[in-house]
């Protein structure tokens, strides 16, 4: 793919988003939750852990702890035991308990609806706040940049950065604000279903025509063996 200017990149980004929306019309947050508090807790638990594993744990957790006050009052050892199968469970237990204590003391037990208030909570950074705001409240304050979004942003040539905040700014320049929450879902779903970290399915990829990495892999001048080697290392 030839070197492109900002206008051409923006046009390509629009084609990518339109295609991903068509391929994944039902894309959504795959953490299970029924209210903002459950999503906040689930997102804290999801750091360096699969959504599937989190959903297994929260199935029982959300039955036992239904309000911020329940987490705040729970003995640390009891709460640790409830999420023990989650990686980094000790640190996450402390974060959840401290965050819920702040919710009780400062917000009447309710999850706040602003980036500033959310990121003041223990264990809550911009990524977690974006998840909660976008999915629980429908507020497009930013774009969630997880490992899938970061990987695909670089492969697609939409960002050359590795820092999440810089990747987020790059994506915001191309995506309408109304699509910020959905964009992260589209990229995450594509990353989980097609554009894997290792050996992405470039030949079958729905957006290969607009993917610089995919175009390198599918270069007709390469032999099938060379294409396969390229696919495994992009």
Angle 39-40-44 (CA atoms, 0-180°, nearest 5)? 110
216 in catalytic set: no
| Catalytic residue selected from 146, 166, 169, 179 | 146
| Catalytic residue selected from 127, 170, 208, 210 | 127
The answer to whether residues 97 and 71 touch, using CB atoms and an 8 Å cutoff, is yes
| Rounded Cα–Cα distance for residues 20 and 32 (Å) | 23
| Rounded Cα–Cα distance for residues 22 and 31 (Å) | 22
Strands (E), the chain: none
| Rounded Cα–Cα distance for residues 117 and 111 (Å) | 9
127 in catalytic set: yes
Structure tokens at 106: 């400062």
Angle 182-184-187 (CA atoms, 0-180°, nearest 5)? 110
The answer to whether residues 57 and 86 touch, using CB atoms and an 8 Å cutoff, is yes
Annotated catalytic sites, by residue?
A: 127, 146
């Amino acid at each position: 793919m030839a070197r492109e200017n900002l206008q051409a990149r923006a046009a390509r980004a629009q084609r990518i988003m339109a295609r991903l929306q068509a391929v994944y019309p039902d894309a959504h947050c795959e953490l299970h939750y029924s209210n903002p508090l459950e999503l906040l807790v689930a997102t804290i638990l999801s750091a360096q852990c699969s959504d599937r594993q989190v959903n297994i744990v929260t199935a029982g957790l959300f039955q036992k702890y239904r309000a911020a006050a329940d987490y705040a009052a729970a003995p640390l050892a009891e709460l640790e035991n409830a999420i023990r199968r989650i990686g980094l469970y000790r640190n996450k237990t402390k974060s959840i308990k401290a965050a819920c204590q702040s919710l009780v003391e400062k917000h009447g037990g309710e999850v706040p609806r602003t980036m500033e208030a959310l990121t003041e909570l223990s264990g809550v950074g911009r990524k977690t706040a974006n998840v909660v705001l976008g999915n629980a409240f429908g507020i497009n304050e930013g774009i969630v940049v997880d490992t899938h979004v970061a990987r695909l942003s670089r492969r697609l040539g939409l960002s050359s950065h590795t820092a999440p905040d810089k990747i987020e700014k790059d994506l915001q320049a191309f995506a309408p604000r109304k699509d910020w929450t959905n964009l992260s879902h589209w990229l995450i779903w594509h990353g989980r279903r097609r554009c894997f970290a290792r050996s992405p399915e470039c030949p079958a990829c729905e957006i290969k025509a607009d993917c610089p990495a995919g175009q390198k892999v599918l270069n007709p001048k390469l032999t099938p063996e060379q294409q396969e080697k390229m696919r495994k290392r992009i």
